[in-house]
């Protein structure tokens, strides 16, 4: 099946029990046992499994083209559960510019479990190799990165990891599997914030984990059940509805991002534009070799904090908010939003300066977006 057909028909979309065209919201905590000592009973308790959530996870398997997929109550729940695959005394390598929430979890919580970590420039494969120790077990990558859209070579990192028998994990939130497929490039585990493009309507918090490895799946299923970071059934239903239009939404948003990046790149008030779809992006060729397009997220830098404040007060169409991936364009200020949990020194090390703004392009008409950005920059 092709992309949009798959999103509509490539998984369990009809209710088994009634034939309903929309999987119902099975709003229940528990299920009646017809017989005792009956191992064939499918559902017992919603923390273990639920028909609505099961249908969504089937959709995730179809979307990710994976053998296994799990839903979680947030993107960070998915990420933290995967990082808990590490044991005391083991070591993980992560990108310097990793998502702020992941960075906070690693810095503040992993040491409590005696897990070691190193942040490196993931685009420099030699730096990654130098960071490998005897106790290294995992390489965690994020490409493009948040918020500076830095790109690393997935195939090279996977090859290095296999050489040293390491687990690879990729946060694929920015691109989604519609544009970039880390599992097909050899990555062991993919995590995504479903809150963003998969759901696409800024009304759900959720995460997913996908893998082709049964061992990782079984351990993560145990974590899901016992750490308790399960997804609510109403959220699962909303995500299934959102997924049906994901292909159409992403196609339009990506086209908007490309055109807006080109507009901003040529504007004298913009100091720098970060977008892997631009030919002068440092790793444009690497990105386009592993992705179908530049994605729907870009960042740009203005010259001063004063110019930034003036711009955000004049802009009209994008909402100024945390998060990304909605049908509406969302403008974020990483220093006070996604990366506010980091110290000023940590933000500076990542390149997150006060003048930086991140834009998640929505599905508005591009002419309206460009006109709005033009007036906000020039008035």
* Residues that are catalytic: 47, 99, 171, 196
**How many Å apart are CA 106 and CA 139, to the nearest integer?**
13
Task: Tell me the Ramachandran region of residue 132: left when phi exceeds 0, alpha when psi lies from -120 to 50, beta otherwise.
Answer: beta
| Tokens (6 digits) for 299 | 């960042």
Do 76 and 105 contact (CB within 8 A), yes or no? Answer: yes
Ordered strands of the 136-142 beta sheet: 68-72, 207-211, 189-193, 167-171, 136-142, 91-95, 116-120
Question: Burial, 19: exposed, middle or buried (Cβ in 10 Å; 0-12, 13-18, 19+)?
Answer: exposed
Within 13 Å, how many C-alpha atoms sit on residue 379's CB side? 13
In degrees, rounded to 5, the angle at the alpha carbon of residue 152 between the alpha carbons of residues 188 and 148 is: 120
Q: Which two tokens stand for residue 326?
A: 């909605």
User: What is the number of other CB atoms lying within 10 angstroms of the CB of residue 335?
Assistant: 21
Helices (H), the chain: 3-9, 51-64, 75-83, 100-108, 125-131, 154-163, 176-179, 214-227, 233-243, 246-265, 284-290, 305-314, 344-350, 366-378
- Distance of alpha carbon 77 from the chain centroid: 12
Neighbours of 63 (CB within 10 A): 24
Q: Which residues pair with 179 in a beta bridge?
A: none
* DSSP secondary structure letter of residue 131: H
Q: What are phi and psi of 4, to 5 degrees?
A: -70, -35
d(CA 261, CA 293): 13
Q: Which of 204, 149, 218 is nearest to 180 (CA)?
A: 149
């Amino acid at each position: 099946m092709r992309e949009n057909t798959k999103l509509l028909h490539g998984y369990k979309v009809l209710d088994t029990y009634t034939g309903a065209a929309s999987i119902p919201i099975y709003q229940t905590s528990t299920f009646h046992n017809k017989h005792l000592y009956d191992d064939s009973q499918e559902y017992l308790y919603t923390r273990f499994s639920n028909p609505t959530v099961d249908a969504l996870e089937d959709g995730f398997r179809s979307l990710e083209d994976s053998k296994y997929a799990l839903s979680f109550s947030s993107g960070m729940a998915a990420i933290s559960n995967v990082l808990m695959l590490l044991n005391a005394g083991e070591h993980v390598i992560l990108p310097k510019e990793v998502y702020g929430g992941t960075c906070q979890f690693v810095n503040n919580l992993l040491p409590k479990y005696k897990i070691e970590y190193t942040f490196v420039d993931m685009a420099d494969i030699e730096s990654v190799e130098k960071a490998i120790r005897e106790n290294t077990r995992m390489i965690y990558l994020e490409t493009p990165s948040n918020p500076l859209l830095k790109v690393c070579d997935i195939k090279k990192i996977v090859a290095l990891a296999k050489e040293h028998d390491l687990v690879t994990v990729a946060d694929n939130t920015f691109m989604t599997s519609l544009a970039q497929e880390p599992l097909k490039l050899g990555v062991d585990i993919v995590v995504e914030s479903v809150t963003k493009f998969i759901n696409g309507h800024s009304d759900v918090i959720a995460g997913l984990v996908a893998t082709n490895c049964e061992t990782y799946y079984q351990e993560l299923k145990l974590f899901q059940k016992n750490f308790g970071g399960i997804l609510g059934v109403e959220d699962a239903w909303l995500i299934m509805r959102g997924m049906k239009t994901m292909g159409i939404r992403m196609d339009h948003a990506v086209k908007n991002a490309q055109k807006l990046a080109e507009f901003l790149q040529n504007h004298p008030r913009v100091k720098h534009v970060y977008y892997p779809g631009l030919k002068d992006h440092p790793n444009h060729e690497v990105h386009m070799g592993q992705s179908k397009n530049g994605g729907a997220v870009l960042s740009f830098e203005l010259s001063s904090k004063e110019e930034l404040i003036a711009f955000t007060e004049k802009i009209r169409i994008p909402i100024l908010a945390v998060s990304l991936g909605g049908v509406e364009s969302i403008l974020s200020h990483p220093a006070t939003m996604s990366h506010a949990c980091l110290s000023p020194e940590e933000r500076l090390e990542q390149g997150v300066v006060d003048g930086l703004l991140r834009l998640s392009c929505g599905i508005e008409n591009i002419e309206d977006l460009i006109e709005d950005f033009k007036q906000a920059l020039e008035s």
